[in-house]
A and B are shown apart, each in its own frame.
Chain A
Amino acid sequence: MRREAPKSLADYTPLLFPGLMLVVFFVVPFSTMIAVSFFKRNPSGFYTPDFVIDNYARFLTAFFGGVLGFSLLLAVLVAVCCVAIAFPFTYLLTKRPRRVQTLWLVGLLSVLSLSEVIIGFAWSTLFSQTAGITNLFVAIGLMDKPVALLPTFGAVLAGMVYQALPYTILVLYPALVRLDPTLLEAARTLGASPVRAFFNVVTPALRNTIVATLIMVFVFALGSYLLPQILGRPRHWTLSVLITDQAIYQSNMPFAAAMAVFLVLISLALVGLTLLVGRKENAL
């Protein structure tokens, strides 16, 4: 069956159901959210239709600026940590036998699919005073008595790196596994040690992949909505946490929607940047 242009209206029927579902349940809700961001808050219900830009004006406060700055910084930090750990790891993984690769991929997918709730719970347990890792340090004599390692910034960072690391590895995997092995062999025959060849050949060859991955992990980390709440203090809250908080606990849907629209714009800009980087890569 060669690909051909649709000839009659009937040829479009397969698009009917998917198109309808995606438009009604994604495009319309998305537009609704944008509309709501201009609505007025109604303390007794959700909101009342209106056209005000107060919700956006609130961005200009020092508090909001602080949250935004912290969110971006945290996401950058998570992205850098994840890529720094994942890139060499994924590279080494692609050199292992198929069985080993498959085993790791199954494990990584299992962790990746875990609910943020469960990740938050697991790390809060690991960092707790009664069941935490410090009990282990006490047992081997490193510490006198167990302490709680949360709520701290370190706990937030650890939890978010944990959440994003499998994602990072799985994003890098296709690029690294398809890397032409003769590239490295050529470097080896020219006298480069494996480590040197990795830094001189593999890393530069995949520079754009690394940049694209950094951006993707950054967007992924921006989306983390529970971990800063469970593992950190209120001053560690990010934009995503704030959106959830405003929408659900403060019942201020319009403000939450305005923040969400803002977050979309940032994410879209970055996804666009990723595509641009990706296109350059293909052009090479």
Chain B
Amino acid sequence: MTATFLRRLYFTVVALFLSAPLIVVAGVSVNARQELTFPPKGFSLAWYGQIFTDPEWRLALIHSVTLAVCSAAIAVAIALPLAWFLWRRIAPWANIFQVLGLAPFILPPVITALGFLSFWATVGLFGHFFTAIISHAIFFVTLPLVTLSLGFASIDRSLVEAAATMGADDRTVLKTVVLPLILPYLVSGYAFAFVLSLNEYIVAYMTIGFTTETLPIKIFNALRYGYTPTMASVSVFFVAVAALVFGSIAKFGDIRRLLGAMSSDGN
């Protein structure tokens, strides 16, 4: 009885801690007038409309979405052949590429960002939009690499052997057995990279921040030059997108497994 009560209390406190700032932001975002008050005075969804109608916010949204869509795609394109090779071949030295794929995500982000800044500045491409796409792709390659490695590890190798005994060569096996089985992991890897790219600030700022605004950059700039409730509505929009994407992964895939609930070799 009391144990259950204490556990519920504990869960509630953690839930409150995690949601309190978001609740306040959500409250602020529906203020009727342009003021930072909570509880909100009046009710208006106008600030949500702003994201799509205000030219500056809309442009930032388009930049962010373009960046996320493209960089996540490139990240997957890098991770898929790498994860496949590491699963298919015995080549211990190739693990160096796995380390390279994991490093940008483990190191403090400022470092990776600064690395990109010095690189693009040195090669004279600083400020071009595509540099942010490539930078994000490298920065977030870790995510599809991890999900795909998990996915490959979960494939029973006898499935591939069975296909070979029935006359399938390597290419056919890849197309008819491996890819269909890996697809959920590929989609979640893409989704993870997409959401994080959408939210990323420092790498985007250090590559294209002087010429282009993405949503996080726009929020930060707005924060420095005064308050507008659109910042709050955009924040809520971000939380909603993340919850939607991760919720879909949970619904159509096994999110517990993706987060390591089962050992990678087990079933």
On whether A and B touch (CB less than 8 Å), the answer reads: yes
Chain A positions near chain B (C-beta within 8 angstroms): 1-6, 11-12, 14-19, 21-23, 25-30, 32-33, 35-36, 46, 85, 88-89, 92, 98, 101-102, 105-111, 113-126, 128, 130-133, 135, 162, 165-166, 170, 173-174, 177-178, 194-195, 219, 222-223, 225-226, 230, 240, 243-244, 247-248, 253, 256-257, 260, 263-264, 267-268, 271
Cβ–Cβ < 8 Å partners of A240 in chain B: 108, 110
Cβ of B152 to closest chain A Cβ, rounded Å: 11
What is the distance, in angstroms, from A100's C-beta to the closest C-beta of chain B? 9
Interface residues of B in 11-27 (CB under 8 A from A): 11, 14-15, 17-18, 20-22, 24-25, 27
Interchain CB contact under 8 A, B85 and A125: no
* Interface locus among B32-40, B42-50, B52-60: B32-40
B141 near A22: Cβ-Cβ < 8 Å: yes
Partner of A260, one of B14, B28, B110, B217: B110
Given known contacts A121-B25, A243-B110, is B260 in contact with A26 (CB within 8 Å)?
no
Q: In this complex, what residue of A is CB-closest to B28?
A: A131
Q: How far apart sit A92 and B122, CA to CA, in the bound complex (Å)?
A: 51
Task: Point out the residue from A18, A110, A114, A244 that lies within 8 Å of B78, measured CB to CB.
Answer: A18
Q: Is B65 an interface residue (CB 8 A)?
A: no
A residues in contact with B199, CB < 8 Å: 113-115, 118
> Is the Cβ of B256 less than 8 Å from the Cβ of A177?
yes
State the Cβ distance, B184 to closest chain A Cβ, in Å.
15
Is residue B82 within 8 Å, beta carbon to beta carbon, of the partner chain?
yes
Besides A11-B89, A114-B199, 5 new A-B residue pairs in contact (Cβ under 8 A), listed by A number: A89-B14, A106-B243, A110-B242, A130-B38, A223-B109
Chain B 207-246, CB within 8 Å of chain A: the 1/0 string? Answer: 0010000001101100100000001100100110011001
Contact yes or no, A5 B91, CB < 8 A: yes
B206 at the interface (CB under 8 A from A): yes
Cβ B235 vs Cβ A118 within 8 A: yes
Complex Cα gap A14–B160 (Å)? 18
Asked whether B239 lies within 8 Å of A125 as measured between CB atoms, the reply is no
Residues of chain A with a CB closer than 8 A to B141's CB: 21-22
CA distance A244 to B110 in the complex (A): 7
B232 touches A28 (CB 8 A): no
Chain A contacts of B121 at CB under 8 A? 46, 253
**Bound complex: CA A1 to CA B107 (Å):** 35
Give 9 closest A-B pairs by Cβ, nearest first.
A174-B260, A223-B108, A29-B119, A122-B21, A131-B38, A1-B160, A18-B82, A115-B199, A14-B81
Q: What is the bound-complex CA distance between A9 and B39, given in angstroms?
A: 66
Partner of B25, one of A122, A260, A268: A122
Question: Contact: A110 with B243, CB < 8 Å?
Answer: yes
The smallest beta-carbon distance between A271 and chain B, in angstroms, is 6
Judge whether B175 is part of the interface by a CB distance below 8 angstroms.
no
Whether the pair B89, A3 counts as a contact (CB closer than 8 A) is yes
Closest to A161 in B: B17
Q: Is the CB of B10 within 8 A of A88?
A: yes
Whether the Cβ atoms of B7 and A125 lie closer than 8 Å is no
User: Known interface pairs A22-B138, A165-B18. Does A115 touch B81 (Cβ–Cβ under 8 Å)?
Assistant: no
What residues of A have a CB within 8 angstroms of the CB of B79 in the complex? Answer: 18
> Which A residues lie within 8 Å of B89 (CB)?
3-6, 11
CA distance A226 to B202 in the complex (A): 9
Chain A contacts of B87 at CB under 8 A? 3
Complex-state Cα separation, A130 to B199, whole angstroms? 27
B267 contacts the other chain (CB 8 A): no
Q: Which of B11, B82, B107 contacts A264 (CB 8 A)?
A: B107
Contact A170 B259 (CB under 8 A): yes
> Do B110 and A106 touch across chains, with their CB atoms under 8 A apart?
no
What 0/1 pattern do residues 66 to 103 of B give for CB contact below 8 A with A?
A: 00000000100111011011011111001001001101
Residue pair B36, A128 in contact (C-beta under 8 Å): yes
Contact (Cβ within 8 A) B18 A111:
yes
A135 and B38 within 8 A (CB): yes
Q: Complex Cα distance A108/B256, Å?
A: 12
Q: A125 to B114, Cβ gap below 8 A?
A: no
CB of B117 closer than 8 Å to a CB of A: yes
User: In whole Å, how far is A101's beta carbon from the nearest beta carbon of chain B?
Assistant: 6
